[in-house]
Amino acid sequence: MIQSAFLQKIGYEGQSITFNDLPVLLKKMAYTFPFENRSVLKKQSYALNQEGLKQHLLEENRGGLCYDLNPLLYYVLKEAGLSVQLLQGTVYIKEADTWAIDGTHVAIMLKHHNERFLIDAGFGVNLPLQPVPFTEDWVEGASIRFRVKAEKTEKGTHLLQLDRGDGAETGYAFTLNEVDEAALVQLRHEIYENESSTFNKRPLASKLTPTGRVVVTEDHVTTHEHEEVSKKPLPVPFEDYVKKLIP
């Protein structure tokens, strides 16, 4: 049973999960698990099935990347009786005006009352914190708006778009094809080994907080609290600091 262990981990007081519970659950998950690449740098091998992710994230107190966090949530929601499937996408890197490695993002599609929603708990600190409908309506995240738009590109049939206050920009493109464990393993291999991967070079961790976000590199920690930004030298080794981010 992964659901009860997950709910205990994130401090969720309910015993069951319904569609209406998802905003609260997604916030508590975001405040619990950092988006971090310690396993990538160490090239750790672990199963990306329900038991493997339960052990790695819940029992060993780890954060992770999209292929850790979203499949973990997928297994929890599936056990709760919700209609979910994993999707594969390609992130757009705005600063470089190019796409990241093909198919190296994974998210969740949920069906509720014949409507489709995108759920993503593994897109760094760019998290909607609620289901995003496939209606092209904007929803409010912590400091960013999000929407799903049906638009064919070289990387998929749909886009997750973000609006940070300057208009819509592409977060990633995706298809509606269902992803299995074998695809997750291949995705992780690309993140571990591909020279173009942004996650296999140096330590990186980030996590949303109720009042902002924290971003950790190998030598600095940057804290955003409301409108205040503070950047300070990392007081302890990266590994130790990231461990402190996990309840």
Q: Token pair for residue 37?
A: 């690449």
Looking at the DSSP bridge assignments, the partners of residue 110 are 84, 117
> What does the alpha-carbon distance between residue 71 and residue 107 come to, in Å, rounded to a whole number?
8
Catalytic residue among 66, 68, 158, 224: 66
Catalytic residue among 56, 68, 105, 224: 105
> What does the alpha-carbon distance between residue 65 and residue 176 come to, in Å, rounded to a whole number?
21
Q: What DSSP line would sit under 92-148, residue for residue? A: EEGGGTEE-STT-EEEEEEEETTEEEEE-S-STT---SS-EETTS--EE-SS-EEEE
Catalytic residue among 56, 68, 120, 158: 120
CA distances from residue 45 to 6, 12, 53, 210 in whole angstroms, order as listed:
22, 29, 11, 32
Number of alpha carbons in the 13 Å side-chain half-sphere of residue 197 = 22
Query: 120 catalytic, yes or no?
Result: yes
Q: Which residue has 């992780």 as its token pair?
A: 188
Query: 105 catalytic, yes or no?
Result: yes
Q: Token pair for residue 155?
A: 């990387």
> What does the alpha-carbon distance between residue 178 and residue 65 come to, in Å, rounded to a whole number?
19
State the SS3 of 35-78: EECHHHHHCCCCCCCHHHHHHHHHHCCCCECHHHHHHHHHHHHH
Which sequence positions are flagged as catalytic? 66, 105, 120
